Chain A
Amino acid sequence: MTKILVVDDDIDMALATRMALEEGGYTVVEARNSLEGLEMLKKEEPDLIVLDVMMETNTAGFQAALTIRNPDPKSEYAAFRNIPIIMLTAIHETTEMKFTPDGEFLPVNAFIDKPIEPTKFLAKVRELIEQKETSN
């Protein structure tokens, strides 16, 4: 069964995400902050991560994504480097980190705008999971 890790400090957002994903037939594990998220990643070995941006810091989500994508082969998370990541955010919301959707480096596979639209969200999750399976 496909397992998805949801990292969000907002319990209501996390519930909405969980319900949408469970409706699509996925198993969901939750973490409340980026550190817990990274721990869960190693423990649960999910197939996809849904990350919030602003958690314990304004850019905690981005930092977590960068940690996972770290190209260093000795990285703790080297095994998960290619895991699909969906970032839940309002990309137009000003953060202290200047990221643009067509920027030269993005540590994530997709941005989904908050509030989430369950159908679109699930479609994106399915697309990424399928991509991952074909590439395997």
Chain B
Amino acid sequence: MSRLQEAPHLPIELGRGLLPIDTAVNNRRLILTRWVVGLAVLGGTWFGTYGLDLILPEGVLYTLGILILCYNVPIWFLTRRWEIMSVRTGRACPRVCPLVLVQVALDGLCLTVFVHWTGGITSPALVFFFLHAVMVILLLPGWVAYAYDVIVMIAIGSVTLLELTGILPHYVVLSGLPADLHTDGSFITSRLIFFGAALFGISMVTASVMAPMRQRERLLSAIFHTTSAVSSTLDKNTVLQRLVDNTAEALNVQGITLRLVEPNGYELRLAITHGTDYLKDEVINVNESPAYKRAIKGELVFVERYDFYRYLPFVSPRSGIISVVLVPIIGRRPLGIIVLYATRYLSDTPYLRHFLKAIADEGAIAIENALTHQALQNAEKQREQFVRVFTHELRSPVVGAQSLLRVVIANPNISVERLRDILERLNRRMDNLLSLINDLLALASSKARDFQEQLKPIDMTQMTKSVAQDYLYQCEEKRIRLSVDVNVSPIHIMATTEGLHLIINNLIGNAIKYTPDGGNVWVQLNCDENHHARLTVRDTGIGIPVDALGSLGQEFYRASNARESGIMGTGLGLATVYQHVSHLDGHIKVTSEINKGTTFEIRLPTHAMPVPN
């Protein structure tokens, strides 16, 4: 085992009421003190007897000192073992607490015996109980300390009573004191009252110092755990669950919910719950609660029971909840709200505010990390899909052509007609390949040139007819009826030849691609009342879901049904169309119905041609 692992570093562990880390550290201190005490009893007895000429019950005191040292050995051994174990497992050992209780009981008993043998109520050793009481508070929660005080008072009272009645012998250690002082009623009463008051006073003062320290350690520990959770995983839900759990334990609240802001910015969707969720609604509207409305703007909001009806209409005043705290999680924008429900009064202290702010900041980091990670993963997935589709699309024409060529080469007796047919097919495949390469280039160049090429008047009528003509064969293959209704007279628009071709080609191509065999595609071109060229491409294809209509202009975007249909596509064609149309100051209108068909309507400003003389 390395030195580092052996070092007495204990993992910080949260617990309810008791903090084993606290206990474990003080436990070590207690054991160390006991070595000193054991030796001090032995040394003190010797010095008292021979140095100060006191009349001490030497035998008993030596035995007591040795006894203390003896029972300290197994305790020391056990503690060491548990510490090594807890370093290995990363968790503090919960059995430290019972061990501490056993030690306190043994020490208390020894001290009582020591007090009895050094003079009972008159013993100068009585003050050691104060030291022991402080130790107990450092080690154990407040109520144990008070219980300890009561037990000590009972023990001392009993010893005094037994000595007074002569059941136990009384030992006189300090020769200057009257021999019957232990039977003096007023002495006993005043001594017990002062002793008790001092004992309880010490406990109270120490406890009041310890309690907030423990609370702070709990909060720090919660922040520490949350920070390590944020840095250990990118899974948003895991981090947020730990964040909420740690916060609930640290603050000892009954319920915590974490709701994330929906894209619309005013609705909150339930993401994580701890304990009781006092709000059953999955989604809540921030506008329905003034408290939420303030929190979403970045304000930490404390609401008490009497204000629920005003600020938190969702929370019933009969739910037993006293305090509700709304903690906003703000990143680059509002991300969510953590809501704490407590059945006790949560006071608005600067320390609590700092703590909640730190926790919320960790939450914001976790959420933003997760969102960034998700965006990167999606981009990677899209890229993979893009590469896959293009590999296939680029390979297909070549693979088909090459297969035909090989069959022809292997077959010397092929007829001239067959050969001619094959050559035509090869020619068409090469055309397809070229147009695919052109598409890629168009995309690349339209990006690179940023539409800097000079626009010139182009006859859209001619262009539409020619593009439709190119698709006749494909329509025949798919048994699609392609009807072209184009104005006889030319319609000129300002565009680039490549740009306009790309728009028309993509729209007609898509209509045919996404229309099942035997369907219909209509292409119509005319001028509208505002002298805009209006190109309408209507099909009886698979349609576009309503929620996808707004995203058609995004590169690589493909509607869910298009992806699922298995029809090859890159999500680039329409994106380029949208870019070009907007560059030409045109508009696109899409209407669609799933499995019925889609209509694309494009309007482009016309260019009035000078009349030739």
Contact = CB atoms under 8 A, between A and B. Distances in A.
Interface of A: 10-13, 15-17, 19-20, 23, 54-58, 60, 90, 93-96, 114-119
Given A11-B477, A94-B388, A94-B391, A16 B566 contact: no
Given A12-B425, A115-B406, A119-B410, A93 B566 contact: no
A11 B477 CA distance: 9
A82 B264 CA distance: 56
A94 B399 CA distance: 16
A115 B477 contact: no
Q: Name the residue among B391, B392, B401 with the largest chain A CB count within 10 angstroms.
A: B392
Nearest to A114: B399
Given A56-B566, A58-B566, A90-B399, A16 B407 contact: yes
Interface string B544-571: 0000000000000000000001111000
Contact of B407 (A10, A20, A57, A90): A20
Contacts of B388: 94-96
A93 to B, nearest CB: 7
Nearest to B385: A96
Given A12-B429, A16-B400, A54 B407 contact: no
A23 B399 contact: no
A115 B402 contact: yes
Closest 10 CB pairs between A and B? A57-B566, A115-B402, A16-B403, A118-B410, A115-B403, A12-B400, A114-B399, A19-B407, A16-B404, A115-B399
Interface in B392-421: 392, 395-396, 398-404, 406-407, 410-411, 418
B403 A17 contact: yes
Interface of B: 387-388, 391-392, 395-396, 398-404, 406-407, 410-411, 418, 422, 425, 429, 477, 565-568
B392 A93 contact: yes
Contact of A114 (B387, B403, B477): B403
A117 B418 CA distance: 19
Contacts of A118: 406-407, 410-411
Nearest to B409: A118
Nearest to A11: B477
Nearest to B421: A15
B134 to A, nearest CB: 68
A55 B567 CA distance: 8
Contact of B395 (A23, A93, A95): A93
B187 to A, nearest CB: 92
B211 to A, nearest CB: 59
B401 A19 contact: no
Nearest to A113: B399
B425 A15 contact: yes
B565 A10 contact: no
A56 to B, nearest CB: 5
Contacts of B422: 15
A93 B396 CA distance: 11
A17 B407 CA distance: 8
Nearest to B410: A118
Given A11-B477, A54-B392, A115-B403, 9 more contacts: A12-B425, A15-B404, A16-B407, A17-B403, A19-B418, A20-B407, A54-B568, A94-B387, A116-B407
Contact of B400 (A13, A55, A58, A119): A13
A119 to B, nearest CB: 6
Given A11-B477, A57-B565, A114-B399, A16 B406 contact: yes
Contacts of A115: 398-403, 406
B295 to A, nearest CB: 44
Given A11-B477, A12-B429, A56-B566, A116 B391 contact: no
A17 B402 CA distance: 12
A13 B399 contact: yes
Contacts of A15: 404, 422, 425
Nearest to B428: A12
Nearest to B425: A12
Contacts of B399: 13, 90, 114-115
Contacts of B411: 19, 23, 118
Contacts of B404: 12, 15-16
A94 B398 CA distance: 17
A37 to B, nearest CB: 15
Contact of A93 (B391, B406, B477, B568): B391
Contacts of A20: 407, 410
A94 B567 CA distance: 16
A50 B359 CA distance: 62
A119 B396 CA distance: 21
A67 to B, nearest CB: 16
A60 B410 contact: no
Contacts of A117: 406
B242 to A, nearest CB: 34
A96 B411 CA distance: 36
B356 to A, nearest CB: 46
Nearest to B564: A57
14 contacts: A12-B425, A15-B425, A16-B406, A20-B407, A23-B410, A54-B392, A56-B565, A93-B391, A114-B395, A114-B399, A115-B399, A115-B400, A117-B406, A118-B406
B566 A10 contact: no
Contact of B396 (A10, A17, A95): A10
A114 to B, nearest CB: 4
A15 B408 CA distance: 11
Contacts of B395: 90, 93, 114
A33 to B, nearest CB: 9
Nearest to B389: A58
A11 B566 CA distance: 18
A90 B403 CA distance: 13
A30 B566 CA distance: 21
A10 B397 CA distance: 9
Contacts of B402: 115
B403 A13 contact: yes
Contacts of B401: 12, 115
B317 to A, nearest CB: 55
B400 A10 contact: yes
A52 to B, nearest CB: 10
Given A12-B425, A93-B391, A116 B403 contact: yes
A34 to B, nearest CB: 10
A51 to B, nearest CB: 15
Nearest to A32: B517
B444 to A, nearest CB: 23
B140 to A, nearest CB: 59
Most chain B Cβ neighbours within 10 Å, of A15, A55, A90? A15
